[in-house]
Chain A
Amino acid sequence: MLKANKIMRKVWVYILLGIIAFICLFPYVWLLSSSFKPESKMFVIPPELIPNPFTIQNYIDAFTLSPLLRWLMNTIYITLIVVVGGSLVASMAGFAYSKLRFPGSSVLFLIPLCAMMIPNEVIIIPLFQIWSKLHMIDQYLPLILPNIIGAGGMFGVFLFRQFYLSIPNELMEAAKIDGCTTFGIYFKVMLPISQAPLATLAIFNFMYTWNDFLDPLVYLNSPEKYTLSLGLSLYADMSGVLWGQLMAACVIATLPLVIMFFAAQKRFIESVALTGMKT
């Protein structure tokens, strides 16, 4: 009696999980399935889950008939600069805040703290005016620099400070006795042991920059300079949108993130969970 009860409960849990899984998975299944369908079979009733005939024409068209490759390259370019630059700036500042003593450190530490109160969405208007006075509209600098040292970069400082606080000072002292400069200690001793926060911040910055939409929308004008996110929205705005091609392009835009996610699932979840801290 008790055992049967237990089994019944397990069955209910699995049914519930199945429903949740279906809701979560369906958009992805439909996205993939539509990207492999010919345009003529896109809207048949009843809807077909498995493409018949199966075609990769949408992918070929997306790459040859639209600037998708260009947008992909632009996005990779911007993202890589932010990932590398963000890691350097945040680790340096995190090291200084945690391991060096200097006058005014307590006041200066308020800076990354205060930065959390000023999200990008709030200051986008004055930032736009400043960048346009500097003739930087339709350039990549407004997309890159704030993500390294502005609103997008501050959270990495916390991450590294927290990590370096947990590293014993003896390690530094030993290097110092061996004649290492302070910068040398950071670069040759601390940075090489920072794989964990480096990976977390890299994933975080990668995701944030890859998915950023408001900044490209505000700053970029020429279609050939668009990022993937902005390019996809342009696609969707065009009248008579070709859904098959659009879905293929969406798959291409999502794939790098999904691959990274499955390659480093644990670190990925950690990075995303930290997103909440970045307000």
Chain B
Amino acid sequence: MKILLKSKQIKHSKLYKKDKWYAYAMISPVVMGFCLMMLFPLLYEFYLSLTDAKLVGDATFIGFQNYETLFGNDALFTKSILNSLYFSGVLVPMNISLAILLAVLLNKKIRGIGIFRTLVFLPSITPIVVWALVWKFILATDVGVLNSFLKMFGVTGPAWLYNIHLTMPVLIVNTVLKGVGLNMVIFLGALKSIPQIYYEAAKIDGAKSLKTFTKITLPMLSPTIFMVTIMTIIGSLKIFTNVYMLTNGGPANSTSLIVFYIYYKAFKEFKFGYASAAAVILFLAILILTLIQWSLRRRLVYAESE
């Protein structure tokens, strides 16, 4: 095969030479886009993070001072990091376990199951702003339908979006509901690729359904679980719109997540240099997670193809 290609290459050498320029021309938009709109901004951000750049006026180089302030002297940054850890730490296990359970449930071959799959998936295609607005409407303290419903039973509902103890759990549940359908679909695909023969063998051996779940389904799903978990962690670190629309970071900054913090410092206080330093920290976190994802994927893909 290789020899064949080589002989062809010689025969059509002119054509292949031309191919080279066609190829460069065809990938040039992507290459240029990457260099001008991703690589250069990233390098520029590293530089910005070492300056005191603001909306107007010249930026002066101040070394690592921004980073020192971030980690030493900024309670809001520390709080935002802790909030993000809390948010991701609860959201990710909740999302993944719910997605697996839903996938197993919706994998049953019973009448009308397609409708249920569609319903669980529907929030994933809804505009995030609409999703947040509808929930804001439902959860409104005095007039929202949830508290009106509770009032019918003589219960005075809490201020879901203004009570410092409730906002974060509400935000987490809201985000899980929005995104769980997507992960469910991925797990559903993975479930379908588990050879049926394992389940038949387990049935012959008289295994109970809980045992087949823990001994067959979960181990067979584990590559997918790893991948989806990392994807969901990265996704949860980038959450912004939900926070902006539902709680605006409040009350008392209890829902200020990292991207919200960056947005606030950069586009409300216009501290571009300082906010860039926080963005660099976020970049490093995402970089590490992506590298883990790659090495896992490579290993898992090889394991699957062997």
- Spell out A's residues near B (CB within 8 Å): 10, 13-14, 16-17, 20-21, 23-28, 30-31, 34, 42-43, 45-47, 89-90, 92-93, 95-97, 100-103, 105, 108, 111-112, 114-119, 121-130, 145-146, 148-151, 153-154, 157, 176, 181-183, 186, 207, 210-211, 213-214, 217-218, 228-230, 232-233, 236, 243, 246-247, 250, 253-254, 257-258, 261, 265, 268-269, 272-273, 275-277, 279
Q: Could you write out 27 A-B pairs with CB less than 8 Å apart? A: A14-B110, A17-B113, A20-B116, A24-B120, A27-B123, A28-B122, A92-B26, A100-B23, A101-B23, A102-B19, A115-B38, A122-B42, A125-B276, A125-B279, A130-B44, A149-B29, A149-B32, A182-B15, A183-B26, A213-B244, A229-B129, A236-B133, A247-B133, A250-B130, A254-B130, A275-B182, A276-B183
CB atoms of B263 and A214 under 8 A apart: yes
Query: Min CB distance, A191 to chain B, in Å?
Result: 12
| A125-B266, A150-B38, A257-B126 given; A43·B148 CB < 8 A | yes
Determine whether B100 belongs to the interface, using a CB cutoff of 8 Å to chain A: no
Question: Which residues of the other chain, A, contact B220 by a CB distance below 8 angstroms?
Answer: none
Contact pick for A121, options B41, B53, B228, B238, CB 8 Å: B238
Contact across chains for B118 and A265 when beta carbons are under 8 A apart:
yes
Q: Give Cα A119 to B279, complex, Å.
A: 11
Q: Counting CB contacts under 8 A, is B287 at the interface?
A: yes
Establish whether residues B133 and A126, one from each chain, have CB atoms under 8 Å apart when the complex forms. Answer: no
Does any Cβ of A come within 8 Å of B34's Cβ?
Answer: yes
Closest to B16 in A: A101
Of chain A, the residue at the smallest CB distance from B259 is A121
> Which segment, of B75-83, B137-145, B164-172, B191-199, faces chain A?
B137-145
A243–B137 contact, CB under 8 A?
yes
User: Closest A-chain residue to B128, C-beta based?
Assistant: A211
Q: How far is the CB of A219 from chain B (nearest CB, A)?
A: 10
Q: Check B121 against A214 for contact (C-beta < 8 Å).
A: no
Indicate if the CB atoms of A254 and B23 lie closer than 8 Å. no
Specify which chain B residues have a CB less than 8 angstroms from the CB of A42 in the assembled complex.
143
Expressed in whole angstroms, the Cα–Cα distance for A123 and B26 within the complex equals: 26
Shortest Cβ distance from residue B235 to the other chain A in the assembled complex, whole angstroms: 7
Residue in A13, A47, A125, A236 whose CB lies within 8 Å of B45 = A125
Give B5-29 as 1s and 0s: 1 = Cβ < 8 Å from A's Cβ atoms. 0000000100110111011101101
* Known A47-B148, A176-B15: A273·B182 in contact at CB below 8 Å: yes
Contacts of A124 in B (CB 8 A): 262-263, 266, 279
Contact of B238 among A103, A119, A218 (CB under 8 A): A119
Give bound CA distance, A148 to B37, whole Å.
11
Write out the residue numbers on chain A whose beta carbons fall within 8 Å of the beta carbon of B116: 17, 20-21
